[in-house]
Structure 1
């Protein structure tokens, strides 16, 4: 929580004065793009939170870099979503106390939901095994399946249109202020099969790492909770995108986890 308070205060002051001494202002460009989009589309807080979940279309957290230069300082990639939440919670009229309490409230929900979600997993273990097999066979790493948007790695499907961000050279962020339509493009049969299974299992996102698969049941800023698959029966503790707070083995090769 101390880290979050510092980041919240730093963001609100720095964005007010603008970024200095950084040649490429990718972070400021993305922030302004999101701010303008939200104003233009009158985006509700609920919709903002959905689009800002980990790995969703407004999550600007770097995916391959441990530390990045942003807002005049060096920060870990997992801190970046807190910048966005700190600024936009103010934009939506939330008090500082309300915005800072949400991450801890979310993590507590992840701990409290463990028994219920583990029961759900055990009832559907066959489908989870089928899904893990398909994802391990796939060359893709990120599979997002939300009510209004789907994503395979860098390609989104929204309103039956396939699109992706145009990422500037040297930018560490997975989103930008510009997008492009992917014409004559469709997800493959295998990709659609994976997305369908995720939907049936109430998993909004699956992320394949070099060691296993994180299945996200829910997420907020850089936090998430759900299931983790590992063929060697080991919990992954060193991934730069998941700082594991709690984990517990469910059955062989599967764990329940909460990440902050």
Structure 2
């Protein structure tokens, strides 16, 4: 390991405390560090700041410091670069962050010694067709939400599977999720939890105004199409990808969603299995409520 890129949530409580430990370990092990310029300035380490277009040049590892949102930010910045991510959990849940702050140095030693595995996570690919002829493409590690851009208003959506109309929803929206994202928004909407290594994806309606409220699970070769219906003169569709809203979106005709060819890589260290870790995190979440 010669270089790591660090993506922190600079305002997160605990990040300012862990950064000196991380810098110390990296310097002792002759590992170069790069960090986004704005974060480096905020954390008082401007010498490590690197411009966005060179942030991942030569990096062997990406370390995220914060919660799941920080890792999703790193995935977006990585685009389709194949560099594994190690998440240090400074948040409350951290379904993408399996290393705790007090384990950081030990985990880094294991990575340096080659005592780790790389876990591949499936991503979603979205193709959004707009009324003006534009096409927008996005990748998502967790989920894609389609709904009305006006809070509290129902939207009617057709759901097609491989080009065939399957059902229609009147709901607050519809969320499509990967197995990784099945523990996020889709889970809150009543969807199932799916083991992360599974080659499937799901859709689940959000607060549907009908008896048709079941989540659906699709195989790796399936393609779903979501079409909005009769929004009215002022109605518009809102779309968010991994929690980030696509701003200034013109009228949408439809959105195609399928599993992407690109996969996101995560560092895996021996520890509790998926279901054991999930059980602990859900119990922790309940205790915080």
Same fold, judged at TM 0.5 (above): no
Normalising by structure 2, we get a TM-score of: 0.26
Q: Please report the TM-score for the alignment, with normalisation by the length of structure 1.
A: 0.28
Max Rg structure: 2
More strand by share: 2
